[in-house]
Amino acid sequence: MSTFYDLYETPDPSGEGKKKPLHARVHSKGTITAKEFQERVMKEQHMPHAMIVGIMQAISNALGDWLAEGYNVEFDELGYFSTTLKCTRPAMNKKDIRAESVRFETVKFRPSKEFKKYVRYQMHLERLDKKMATKKPAVESAAPAADKKK
């Protein structure tokens, strides 16, 4: 099966009206639920459904506990999980900020080279047929933070 994509206008964060090159974005077919995921693993590995559910819950709990304790977690050949923090107020030096002003922001995932290579070789890209699209792609007002880091 193909992965559909479409091309989108890249917004100009400076607001000067300069035209930026188009960028490609995957057109999601939806979300695979945990139940669907578990059923696929059950079929491929010939394991009882309850065992798969238990294993997934145990992995989720262990991963969450280690991340909460400040560890980065390597998950086999899948990749690495880590946490990020956010300062709730600006500070120019360390004495200007207290612990109450630092909080958890999110969990980041960095896929391994092997996992990215696997996905790359499994993915077959195909331009989205306009007849299949349900609505026009929206132009974003600002570039996402993840794109700025790249």
Report domain extents, the chain.
1-27+128-150, 31-71, 74-119
pLDDT in tens, 41-85: 999 999 999 999 999 999 999 999 999 999 999 998 899 999 999
Residues 111, 114, 119, 120, CA torsion sign: positive
Do 133 and 27 contact (CB within 8 A), yes or no? yes
pLDDT band at 131 (very low <50, low <70, confident <90, very high): low
Contacts of residue 140, Cβ cutoff 8 Å, sequence gap at least 6: 8, 11
**Positive or negative: CA dihedral 27, 29, 30, 35:** negative
- Looking at per-residue pLDDT, the higher value among 141 and 124 belongs to 124
For position 113, what pLDDT does the model report? 96
Contact predicate 80/65, CB 8 Å: no
| Greater pLDDT, 51 or 97 | 51
Residue 49: closest CA among 37, 60, 62: 37
Q: Report which DSSP code applies to 27.
A: -
Report the pLDDT value the prediction gives residue 139, as an integer from 0 to 100. Answer: 44
The predicted pLDDT at position 104 comes to 93
% of the chain residues with pLDDT over 70? 86
User: Confidence band (pLDDT; 50, 70, 90) for 90?
Assistant: confident
Contacts of 30 (CB under 8 A, 6+ apart): none
